[in-house]
Amino acid sequence: MPDGPVLEQVKVQVHSLLHTNLNTVDLSAAAAFYADVLGLKPGMKTARTAADGRALGVAGATVTECWFLYDHRGPRTAPAIEVLEWETPPTTGAHPAEPYHTGISSLGYTVPSLEHLRERAARHGRPWTELAAWPVRGTATAAARTTDLDGVPIELTERTGEAPVFSHLRINVTDLDASVAWYGGLGFTAMATVRSAEADKAVFSCASMVTEGDPSFSLELTQWEDPKGTGLAASPAYHRGLYRIALGVDDVNAAYRQLAGTAEKPLNAPEFVELPGTRLGGVSVLFLRDPDGVVVELVGRSRSHMRR
């Protein structure tokens, strides 16, 4: 369950980010926004139906619907945004407005033209902020920030290509070294680390974490120093905005056996999460929490299914 224990030392080989979960108040509107602004398309949709919510830490039956949105590379090649609308219980709360709030902070995309994206964001009445030297992959680069219809920040950097690409996910942490060690135990490698960088009138340290299976995508672990990071990771599971991440492992049961002996508290066994209305039917998932309480799913999805 998502309320499971934090792990001290883990020895599991994650091969890629499968998706990050984004809870929305209006699924159709969110999907239309991402289609128009970033060219994302749904690769899989679940049916809106009742299900047991215990696997997600929610008591009783839940009613949800989600679409997995992919950039132009498509399923099995690109990581997705799992846009999820909760009907019962309803999506609640608000994504943190402060960029230094602890937890999953923002989505990151490379785009062929920042000016083109600015025009598209303006069509939806979204804010636009220029960032002169924003740290991504250990390099200070020109970037921009906008938000989606649910208030989730989107970091944009410019790179030659045919279409926008899901490039990174920023996670704000309270102890960078502890978080680097934790994600390193899952199979991530720190490809670049920047200490006490200054950008956008702030000071922070960052580590870009990548997997061997998909080095094109990074987790940008960020410890804010000035201003200091604040708040807690999002909760409950139906809290609006970015809530959890799903990482692919070849064998989720083997991962559980490896992790069970290193947990501070007893670790719940993998659970089968239904995906009604899809060809998969469901997946086996092991729920963990990182040092700051961010929900991390290890999903049994063999790398042989991926084309990355």
pLDDT tens-digit profile of 93-128?
999 999 999 999 999 999 999 999 999 999 999 999
Q: Mean pLDDT throughout 7-21?
A: 78
Query: How confident is residue 284, by pLDDT bands cut at 50, 70 and 90?
Result: confident
Q: What per-residue confidence (pLDDT) applies to 4? A: 55
Q: What per-residue confidence (pLDDT) applies to 268? A: 84
Check if the beta carbon of residue 289 is closer than 8 Å to that of residue 57. no
Report how many domains make up the chain.
1
Q: How far is Cα of residue 292 from the mean position of the Cα atoms in its chain?
A: 14
Q: Judge if the upstream peptide bond of residue 89 is cis by omega within 30 degrees of 0.
A: yes
Decide if 5 is inside a domain: no
200-259 pLDDT tens trace? 889 999 999 999 889 999 999 999 999 999 999 999 999 999 999 999 999 999 999 888
Query: How confident is residue 32, by pLDDT bands cut at 50, 70 and 90?
Result: very high
Q: How far is CA 239 from CA 85, 94, 140, 170, 308, in A?
A: 10, 7, 32, 18, 31
Task: Tell me how long the chain is.
Answer: 308
Task: Name the more confident of 57 and 232.
Answer: 232
Decide if 260 is inside a domain: no
* Number of Cβ within a 10 Å radius of residue 129: 12
Check if the beta carbon of residue 164 is closer than 8 Å to that of residue 39. yes
Count H helices, E strands: the chain? 4, 17
Helix (H, G, I), strand (E, B) or coil at 184: helix
What's the one-letter identity of residue 288? L
pLDDT at 279 over 60: yes
Least confident among 17-31, 40-54, 239-253, 263-277? 263-277
Range(s) of the domain holding residue 115: 103-226
Query: How confident is residue 7, by pLDDT bands cut at 50, 70 and 90?
Result: low
Q: Mean pLDDT throughout 248-276?
A: 83
Decide if 185 is inside a domain: yes
Compute the distance between CA of residue 150 and CA of residue 71 in angstroms, rounded to an integer. 19
Q: What per-residue confidence (pLDDT) applies to 31? A: 98
% residues pLDDT > 70 (the chain):
94
Scan for tokens 């490379």, then name that residue.
Answer: 110
Average pLDDT in the chain: 91
pLDDT at 6 over 90: no
Q: What per-residue confidence (pLDDT) applies to 1? A: 52
- CATH number of the structural domain spanning residue 163: 3.10.180.10
Q: What per-residue confidence (pLDDT) applies to 2? A: 58
pLDDT at 303 over 80: no
Structure tokens at 108: 């990151």
Decide if 18 is inside a domain: no
Decide if 6 is inside a domain: no
Q: What per-residue confidence (pLDDT) applies to 302? A: 75
Decide if 169 is inside a domain: yes
Decide if 305 is inside a domain: no
Q: What per-residue confidence (pLDDT) applies to 10? A: 47
Q: What is the 3-state secondary structure (H, E, C) of 20-58?
A: EEEEECCHHHHHHHHHHHHCCEEEEECCCEEEECHHHCC
Decide if 241 is inside a domain: no
163-188 pLDDT tens trace? 999 999 999 999 999 999 999 999 99
